[in-house]
Amino acid sequence: MKKVLIVSASPRINSNSEALARAFARGAEEAGHETELISLRGKSVAFCRGCFVCQEKQRCVIRDDADDICRKALHADVLVFATPIYYYEMSGQLKALLDRLNPLFPSDYAFRDVYMLTSAAEDEETVPQRAVSGLEGWIECFERSRLAGTVFMGGVTAAGEKPEHPALEQAYQMGKSV
């Protein structure tokens, strides 16, 4: 059994990227894994100050919701990030969180596999490339981890507008294969 931490970075209720996160979680749970889905909606995640105190203390000096998420990420075997694509990039909420996960860098983190789930109004397969590239840059700092998979749900604008979108099944199957 693996610990799977799933972070939904959409500010919208019932968003398409969060639907992907829930599908992934359902698959992972059915495969016998322990999952936790955290939505950043309503959470307080301040911007990183670049002070690097976290490199010494392995904890950020800012006490907000990112601090708790970071501690959970430390012990997760699998990390999953779900984000809407805004202007061909990950949401600002996710980027702020990734920066705040800096205390993990010098730690003995457990995660090896990292997944990214994305949704966007545009449906060209190249749409999530910059977001995926941004996450790959973060992953490169964690040499024992890798980008294990991505799912893209294109052609969706309104929250929950395509409940039968094939990407939901892809996310579910990806979760089952963890």
Instruction: Spell out the per-residue pLDDT of the chain, length 178, in tens.
Output: 999 999 999 999 999 999 999 999 999 999 999 999 999 999 999 999 999 999 999 999 999 999 999 999 999 999 999 999 999 999 999 999 999 999 999 999 999 999 999 999 999 999 999 999 999 999 999 999 999 999 999 999 988 888 889 999 999 999 999 9
Half-sphere exposure of 125 (CA within 13 A, CB side): 2
Using the CB atoms, write b or e for 75-84: b if 16+ within 10 Å.
Answer: ebbbbbbbbb
Domain 3-176, what fold?
Answer: Rossmann fold (3.40.50)
Residue that is written with structure tokens 């890798």 in the block: 146
Q: What is the pTM of this model?
A: 0.97
Determine the pLDDT at residue 163.
84
Tokens found for residue 83: 């984000």
Cα-atom radius of gyration of the chain, to the nearest Å? 15
Local structure of 113: helix, strand or coil:
strand
Q: What is the CB neighbour count within 10 angstroms for residue 107? A: 15
**Domain limits of the chain?**
3-176
